[in-house]
Structure 1
């Protein structure tokens, strides 16, 4: 038996949903107080922008959040009938869907508001089971730095929330908080690429048993769809099952 059972998107929604007006308002209010960042996906996921949650106005049943920096994006967003928010508060994937947004004035600045969602999906920390990936034909992470340079790094370990990648030298421009754009990789046996952005959360140098030195860089996935998170879960379960069968 693997330590994680493969879950469908519907099962994930059912198992990890926080429901009810007060629990949802309490959770999102905490994220707003901490000024957590979320990505907002609209027009069937074809467009997105990054925002910060500003406040939960429970008496009005609404969530207030920042506009984007683009007036054109803001205009198109206000026409969207369904919007999906995705974030990683405390490193834990969170997502929820809302209806059409309205514009309002909040503390002297323009902002958006939406009706509070009826549920929020939050994966638990214990679901971030991490496995080492096979060394033969390693999983490769491709990413772009801000200056356009391409990174191609083997993945050492992976979880639903992020991965540890190896590098012979710490790439110039990589530091804590660095955002890697246009990241992608394909899971072994799966021809479809997973696309996302990622943030560097930690790095350290290490020495192998043979005396070789290198760097391990921990990255946190962002903008990863629930479908792709499920694919990673199924991959983790498959690797664990295969290793168990060899014992």
Structure 2
């Protein structure tokens, strides 16, 4: 079972913003049981990380959904490494789940979590949500990049020496980095004049803010470190270059898949 180590009390908050009006939210809210189960199982199948906020948004952590039980009417998801956070979460009456799957933003509310065992492991459990918000927006789409020939983000951190980190995924909002060793980076840290090498699509100079740093356990029981970054005031030119880069990579993938 994948285990997540919490490194910061405030990973990315709710992914829904004030830019959606009431009509749009109502149109994108699912209430059918089959539809909700389908969306939850998609999150489970792809092992996507989900942000869970509680205590009126003052505390949050990252988790992965593990299983749904139609018979028990329950959703099971991973506990975190901090027992203090686990205890605080169990005292909450209400919590908010938010994540992104394939460019679709998912959000739903849970109530009265508890701890149980599943396959011999301690996990969180709660009743299945009655409604689920599924919202697709252009800026939510993240493109996962190839790991065999990675693209790199080069940072300075106040010294002339560059650190080259492989980019795991990218969007016009930010990028994700994945490394094998614990990085010397902290959440909320700002990184100026970072260079993203998109090869044929150009070299971008951007400012980044670290949103979260966390470790997950791979299927081979090795730690993989994930760093989530957001762009600070991304220029229109760089946004256009990223969009063109993403379109090119998708076109190349489609061409390969038809061979």
TM-superposed deviation, 1:13? 2.2
TM-superposed deviation, 1:91? 3.0
The TM-score with structure 2 as length reference comes to: 0.53
2:188 counterpart of 1:182: yes
SS at match of 2:57: coil
TM-superposed deviation, 1:70? 0.6
The TM-score with structure 1 as length reference comes to: 0.55
Separation of aligned partners in 2, 1:114 and 1:15 = 26
With over 3 angstroms needed to count, the CA separation of the structure-2 counterparts of 1:174 and 1:91, relative to structure 1, is farther
Separation of aligned partners in 1, 2:203 and 2:65 = 38
Separation of aligned partners in 1, 2:129 and 2:211 = 21
- Which blocks of at least 5 consecutive residues in structure 1 are unaligned? 1-5, 129-158, 164-168, 185-201, 208-212, 224-235, 237-247
- Which blocks of at least 5 consecutive residues in structure 2 are unaligned? 1-17, 144-152, 156-162, 169-176, 179-184, 191-195, 213-235, 237-259
TM-superposed deviation, 1:88? 1.0
CA RMSD of aligned residues (A): 3.3
Residue from 49, 65, 71 that aligns with 2:77: 65
2:25 counterpart of 1:10: no
SS at match of 2:198: strand
Provide, for residues 114-145 of structure 1, a one-character-per-residue CA deviation record: whole Å limited to 9, x for no partner: 11111111112xx31xxxxxxxxxxxxxxxxx
Separation of aligned partners in 1, 2:189 and 2:68 = 32
With over 3 angstroms needed to count, the CA separation of the structure-2 counterparts of 1:72 and 1:92, relative to structure 1, is same
Equivalent in the alignment of 2:199: 205
Equivalent in the alignment of 1:108: 120
Answer yes or no: is the 8 Å Cα contact 1:204–1:216 preserved in 2: no
Separation of aligned partners in 2, 1:18 and 1:99 = 18
Separation of aligned partners in 1, 2:205 and 2:106 = 26
Residue from 17, 24, 42 that aligns with 1:30: 42
TM-superposed deviation, 1:161? 5.1
Equivalent in the alignment of 1:82: 94
Provide, for residues 42-100 of structure 1, a one-character-per-residue CA deviation record: whole Å limited to 9, x for no partner: 10110011101000111111110000111110000001111101111123221111111
TM-superposed deviation, 1:109? 0.7
With over 3 angstroms needed to count, the CA separation of the structure-2 counterparts of 1:61 and 1:75, relative to structure 1, is same
Equivalent in the alignment of 1:170: 154
Separation of aligned partners in 2, 1:50 and 1:56 = 18
